[in-house]
Amino acid sequence: MSLPDDYLEYPWRQYGMDHDRYDWSMLSDRPKVHWPDGKQLAVWINVSVEFYPLNQRGVPFKVPNGMTMPYPDLRHYSLRDYGNRVGIFRFLQAFERHGIKPTYAISAQLAELYPSLIERLADTGAEFLCHGWNMDHLHYGGQDKAEEVEQIKRALDTLRKHSGQSIEGWLSPAKNQSENTPDLLTAEGIRYCADWVNDDMPYALKTAHGDLMMMPLPTEIEDQFVLGNNLHSEDSWVEQVKDAFDFLLEEAATEGGRMLGLNIHPWLMGQPHRIGCLESVLEYMMSKDGVWQASASDILKAFQASNTGRAR
């Protein structure tokens, strides 16, 4: 059976990239970035505070770290819930000990289910960004636009209501988007997004409602990727994070300010046998000269103040 004539037709096919969301550039060709007080490396500690429904739909795919056994998968559901009942409080203690100013990416449904948790995190003065509705409501290619509009609006309205924050940042569940997601986010007042990991530094993504700043949150050193996907040891995760940190700090000495984003999960690193590994990483980072540890929005503001904020 032959393929139809239009099978290989694609409106965005072109030399270079197959989209016009941003202008391609090499990091080495961009103007040097200057962080506050002459610091060289900006460190963003992002905590994903997530809700995984027990009865996952898996549309259009099963989200990473979601339920894997036949319903009711209490083993994996309760492990994820451990992070919101126990692990997150170990994080809070570690952050206080090491002077960390984290940013929390929160599944908006948690704001309805566990309002006391949201209140506790808000009381620390930390910044929130929206992590979608929950970890089973994905944004994906071919998704009905009206459905996605409602999904984004519901998530943002709920988190804004319960947190008392304006919520200007976004991290999609599984870092997955549809072709419409960036436009829909800026339409709802989102200024920055952490889904795209094709850079080390912030850059501007073009949308129908103005620029959406991308704040790269590397997958390669994320705890769930190193431990759950690559099946490396906790000690290996510590080594990899420290190696990335050391390299970027050294590179920044000659190439201009750099940024390290580290995404962690309370249900993973908040375990009794792992929290010491997180403490080791935090202590190491905060012991070095030239490090500016700040929230995602503070780093973005400093970046935009340093240059135009658009990758060239």
Which residue's structure tokens are 């948790």?
117
pLDDT of res. 4: 80
What does the domain layout of the chain look like in residue ranges?
Answer: 39-306
pLDDT of res. 16: 66
How much is the average pLDDT of 39-56? 97
| Whole-prediction pTM | 0.93
pLDDT of res. 20: 86
Give percent above pLDDT 70 in the chain: 96
| Token pair recorded at residue 58 | 């898996």
* Lowest-pLDDT range of 25-29, 270-274, 292-296: 25-29
Instruction: Report pLDDT digits (tens) over 280-310.
Output: 999 999 999 999 999 999 999 999 999 754 4
pLDDT band at 19 (very low <50, low <70, confident <90, very high): confident
pLDDT band at 178 (very low <50, low <70, confident <90, very high): very high
How much is the average pLDDT of 160-182? 97
pLDDT band at 84 (very low <50, low <70, confident <90, very high): very high
As a whole number, the mean pLDDT across the chain is 94
| Short-list 234, 199, 231, 205, CA closest to 218 | 199
Give the whole-angstrom CA distance, residue 177 versus residue 163: 25
Which residue's structure tokens are 């979601």?
66
Residue 308's identity, in one-letter code, is: T
| Interior/surface letters 157-181, b for 16+ CB within 10 angstroms, e for the rest | ebbbebbebebbbbbbbbbbbbebb
Handedness of CA 152, 157, 160, 166 (dihedral sign): positive
Specify whether the CB–CB gap between 292 and 42 falls below 8 A: yes
Give the whole-angstrom CA distance, residue 301 versus residue 79: 36
Give the whole-angstrom CA distance, residue 105 versus residue 136: 15
Domain 39-306 sits in which CATH superfamily? Glycoside hydrolase/deacetylase (3.20.20.370)
pLDDT band at 130 (very low <50, low <70, confident <90, very high): very high
3-state helix, strand, coil in the chain (%, to 5): 40, 10, 45
10 Å Cβ neighbour count for 308? 11
Is omega for the bond preceding 115 within 30 degrees of 0, making it cis?
no
pLDDT band at 2 (very low <50, low <70, confident <90, very high): confident
Alpha helices, DSSP H only, in the chain? Answer: 74-82, 88-98, 108-113, 115-123, 145-163, 181-187, 223, 234-255, 266-269, 275-286, 296-306
Backbone angles phi, psi at 8, to 5 degrees: -95, 10
Bridge partner list, 192 = 169, 213
* Lowest-pLDDT range of 7-21, 96-110, 259-273: 7-21
| Short-list 186, 268, 220, 259, CA closest to 21 | 186
Give the whole-angstrom CA distance, residue 310 versus residue 71: 47
pLDDT band at 312 (very low <50, low <70, confident <90, very high): very low
- Widest Cα–Cα separation across the chain: 66
Bridge partner list, 170 = 130, 193
How much is the average pLDDT of 29-47? 96
